[in-house]
Structure 1
Amino acid sequence: MLLPMDTRTIPQSNTAAFFLQSVIAFGASLAAAVIGMLYLPMDPWQRGFIGITMLFLTSSTFTLAKVVRDRQEQAAVMARLDEARVERLIADHDPYLPNKTNAA
Protein backbone atom coordinates (compact mmCIF):
# COMPACT_ATOMS: atom_id res chain seq x y z
CA MET A 1 0.00 0.00 0.00
CA LEU A 2 1.44 3.33 -1.06
CA LEU A 3 0.93 6.32 1.17
CA PRO A 4 1.08 9.88 -0.16
CA MET A 5 4.25 11.71 0.75
CA ASP A 6 3.74 14.40 3.36
CA THR A 7 5.42 17.55 2.07
CA ARG A 8 4.09 20.03 4.58
CA THR A 9 6.62 22.47 5.93
CA ILE A 10 7.35 22.57 9.61
CA PRO A 11 6.29 25.91 11.10
CA GLN A 12 9.30 27.78 12.36
CA SER A 13 9.04 29.95 15.43
CA ASN A 14 11.62 32.11 17.10
CA THR A 15 12.99 31.20 20.48
CA ALA A 16 12.44 33.43 23.49
CA ALA A 17 16.17 34.15 23.61
CA PHE A 18 16.20 35.36 19.99
CA PHE A 19 13.17 37.56 20.62
CA LEU A 20 14.79 39.05 23.74
CA GLN A 21 18.06 39.64 21.88
CA SER A 22 16.17 41.43 19.10
CA VAL A 23 14.29 43.66 21.53
CA ILE A 24 17.47 44.53 23.45
CA ALA A 25 19.39 45.28 20.24
CA PHE A 26 16.58 47.51 18.96
CA GLY A 27 16.34 49.37 22.27
CA ALA A 28 20.11 49.84 22.54
CA SER A 29 20.48 51.12 18.97
CA LEU A 30 17.55 53.52 19.31
CA ALA A 31 18.83 54.79 22.67
CA ALA A 32 22.34 55.29 21.27
CA ALA A 33 20.97 57.24 18.31
CA VAL A 34 18.82 59.48 20.54
CA ILE A 35 21.64 60.10 23.03
CA GLY A 36 24.06 60.83 20.20
CA MET A 37 21.61 63.27 18.65
CA LEU A 38 21.12 65.08 21.97
CA TYR A 39 24.87 65.52 22.56
CA LEU A 40 25.76 66.69 19.04
CA PRO A 41 26.52 70.42 18.83
CA MET A 42 23.51 71.47 16.72
CA ASP A 43 20.80 74.09 16.65
CA PRO A 44 17.38 73.01 17.98
CA TRP A 45 15.83 72.91 14.50
CA GLN A 46 18.61 70.58 13.29
CA ARG A 47 18.11 68.35 16.33
CA GLY A 48 14.37 68.28 15.59
CA PHE A 49 15.01 67.36 11.97
CA ILE A 50 17.30 64.49 12.98
CA GLY A 51 14.72 63.33 15.55
CA ILE A 52 11.87 63.31 13.02
CA THR A 53 14.13 61.53 10.53
CA MET A 54 14.96 58.81 13.08
CA LEU A 55 11.26 58.41 13.91
CA PHE A 56 10.40 58.06 10.21
CA LEU A 57 13.27 55.60 9.69
CA THR A 58 12.10 53.47 12.61
CA SER A 59 8.47 53.35 11.44
CA SER A 60 9.57 52.60 7.86
CA THR A 61 11.71 49.72 9.12
CA PHE A 62 8.74 48.15 10.91
CA THR A 63 6.56 48.63 7.81
CA LEU A 64 9.17 47.02 5.56
CA ALA A 65 9.52 44.04 7.90
CA LYS A 66 5.73 43.58 7.92
CA VAL A 67 5.50 43.78 4.11
CA VAL A 68 8.27 41.20 3.67
CA ARG A 69 6.61 38.87 6.20
CA ASP A 70 3.19 39.28 4.55
CA ARG A 71 4.64 38.52 1.12
CA GLN A 72 6.32 35.35 2.41
CA GLU A 73 3.11 34.21 4.12
CA GLN A 74 1.09 34.90 0.97
CA ALA A 75 3.52 32.86 -1.14
CA ALA A 76 3.30 29.99 1.34
CA VAL A 77 -0.52 30.07 1.29
CA MET A 78 -0.60 30.16 -2.52
CA ALA A 79 1.79 27.21 -2.70
CA ARG A 80 -0.40 25.22 -0.31
CA LEU A 81 -3.52 26.06 -2.33
CA ASP A 82 -1.84 24.96 -5.56
CA GLU A 83 -0.68 21.75 -3.90
CA ALA A 84 -4.19 21.06 -2.60
CA ARG A 85 -5.68 21.60 -6.08
CA VAL A 86 -3.21 19.18 -7.66
CA GLU A 87 -3.81 16.57 -4.97
CA ARG A 88 -7.57 16.88 -5.45
CA LEU A 89 -7.22 16.48 -9.22
CA ILE A 90 -5.10 13.39 -8.70
CA ALA A 91 -7.50 11.98 -6.12
CA ASP A 92 -10.56 12.62 -8.31
CA HIS A 93 -8.97 11.11 -11.42
CA ASP A 94 -9.74 7.43 -11.81
CA PRO A 95 -8.63 6.01 -15.17
CA TYR A 96 -10.80 2.91 -14.68
CA LEU A 97 -14.12 4.74 -14.50
CA PRO A 98 -16.03 4.72 -17.78
CA ASN A 99 -16.28 8.04 -19.56
CA LYS A 100 -19.68 9.59 -18.78
CA THR A 101 -20.13 10.89 -22.33
CA ASN A 102 -19.62 7.37 -23.77
CA ALA A 103 -22.03 5.72 -21.32
CA ALA A 104 -25.14 6.87 -23.22
Structure 2
Amino acid sequence: MKNLGNMLKQAQQMQSRMQEMQAKLEATEVEGQAGAGMVKLRLTGKGELKRVTIDPSLATAEDREVLEDLLVAAHADAKQKVEAMMAEEMQKATAGMSLPPGLKLPF
Protein backbone atom coordinates (compact mmCIF):
# COMPACT_ATOMS: atom_id res chain seq x y z
CA MET A 1 0.00 0.00 0.00
CA LYS A 2 2.88 2.32 0.69
CA ASN A 3 4.01 2.02 -2.95
CA LEU A 4 0.55 3.02 -4.13
CA GLY A 5 0.64 6.08 -1.88
CA ASN A 6 4.04 7.05 -3.26
CA MET A 7 2.82 6.56 -6.84
CA LEU A 8 -0.21 8.78 -6.19
CA LYS A 9 1.97 11.44 -4.62
CA GLN A 10 4.36 11.32 -7.60
CA ALA A 11 1.42 11.53 -10.01
CA GLN A 12 0.09 14.62 -8.21
CA GLN A 13 3.53 16.24 -8.30
CA MET A 14 3.87 15.49 -12.00
CA GLN A 15 0.39 16.91 -12.70
CA SER A 16 1.36 20.10 -10.88
CA ARG A 17 4.62 20.35 -12.87
CA MET A 18 2.70 19.74 -16.11
CA GLN A 19 0.29 22.59 -15.31
CA GLU A 20 3.24 24.88 -14.58
CA MET A 21 4.88 23.80 -17.85
CA GLN A 22 1.68 24.50 -19.82
CA ALA A 23 1.46 28.00 -18.35
CA LYS A 24 5.12 28.64 -19.12
CA LEU A 25 4.71 27.45 -22.72
CA GLU A 26 1.73 29.77 -23.23
CA ALA A 27 3.69 32.73 -21.89
CA THR A 28 6.88 31.99 -23.85
CA GLU A 29 7.48 33.13 -27.43
CA VAL A 30 10.20 32.01 -29.84
CA GLU A 31 11.32 33.64 -33.05
CA GLY A 32 11.95 31.82 -36.30
CA GLN A 33 13.62 33.46 -39.25
CA ALA A 34 14.58 32.85 -42.84
CA GLY A 35 16.40 34.68 -45.61
CA ALA A 36 19.09 35.98 -43.25
CA GLY A 37 16.41 37.60 -41.08
CA MET A 38 14.40 39.12 -43.94
CA VAL A 39 11.35 37.18 -42.71
CA LYS A 40 10.75 36.66 -39.00
CA LEU A 41 7.83 35.27 -37.10
CA ARG A 42 6.99 34.61 -33.49
CA LEU A 43 5.20 31.57 -32.10
CA THR A 44 4.05 30.91 -28.57
CA GLY A 45 5.36 27.81 -26.86
CA LYS A 46 2.05 26.23 -27.87
CA GLY A 47 2.67 26.96 -31.56
CA GLU A 48 0.28 29.92 -31.94
CA LEU A 49 1.49 32.45 -34.53
CA LYS A 50 1.76 35.87 -32.87
CA ARG A 51 3.66 38.11 -35.31
CA VAL A 52 5.14 38.19 -38.80
CA THR A 53 7.83 40.72 -39.80
CA ILE A 54 8.79 41.09 -43.47
CA ASP A 55 11.68 43.17 -44.77
CA PRO A 56 10.22 45.89 -47.04
CA SER A 57 12.49 44.83 -49.89
CA LEU A 58 10.44 41.62 -50.22
CA ALA A 59 7.15 43.47 -50.63
CA THR A 60 7.22 43.54 -54.42
CA ALA A 61 5.09 41.45 -56.74
CA GLU A 62 8.19 39.88 -58.32
CA ASP A 63 9.35 38.55 -54.94
CA ARG A 64 5.99 37.07 -53.91
CA GLU A 65 7.07 33.47 -54.44
CA VAL A 66 10.33 34.03 -52.54
CA LEU A 67 8.38 35.65 -49.71
CA GLU A 68 5.98 32.71 -49.53
CA ASP A 69 8.91 30.26 -49.33
CA LEU A 70 10.63 32.35 -46.65
CA LEU A 71 7.44 32.43 -44.55
CA VAL A 72 7.27 28.64 -44.64
CA ALA A 73 10.97 28.38 -43.75
CA ALA A 74 10.65 30.87 -40.87
CA HIS A 75 7.65 28.95 -39.53
CA ALA A 76 9.60 25.68 -39.69
CA ASP A 77 12.48 27.33 -37.81
CA ALA A 78 10.21 28.63 -35.06
CA LYS A 79 8.31 25.33 -34.83
CA GLN A 80 11.55 23.39 -34.37
CA LYS A 81 12.50 25.77 -31.54
CA VAL A 82 9.09 25.31 -29.90
CA GLU A 83 9.42 21.52 -30.10
CA ALA A 84 12.91 21.63 -28.59
CA MET A 85 11.67 23.88 -25.79
CA MET A 86 8.71 21.57 -25.13
CA ALA A 87 10.98 18.52 -24.98
CA GLU A 88 13.24 20.29 -22.49
CA GLU A 89 10.29 21.36 -20.33
CA MET A 90 8.83 17.85 -20.42
CA GLN A 91 12.12 16.44 -19.26
CA LYS A 92 12.14 18.91 -16.36
CA ALA A 93 8.50 18.18 -15.48
CA THR A 94 9.00 14.42 -15.43
CA ALA A 95 12.44 14.43 -13.80
CA GLY A 96 12.74 11.59 -11.36
CA MET A 97 9.50 9.97 -12.53
CA SER A 98 9.64 6.53 -14.00
CA LEU A 99 7.00 6.52 -16.72
CA PRO A 100 5.98 3.26 -18.35
CA PRO A 101 7.84 2.59 -21.62
CA GLY A 102 6.03 3.95 -24.66
CA LEU A 103 3.79 6.29 -22.65
CA LYS A 104 3.00 9.35 -24.74
CA LEU A 105 1.79 12.46 -22.96
CA PRO A 106 -0.79 14.64 -24.77
CA PHE A 107 1.41 17.53 -25.97
**Which bracket does the TM-score occupy, shorter chain normalised?**
0.3 to 0.5
Structure number having the greater strand percentage: 2
Structure number having the greater helix percentage: 1
Return the structure number with greater relative CO, CA threshold 8 A, min gap 6: 2
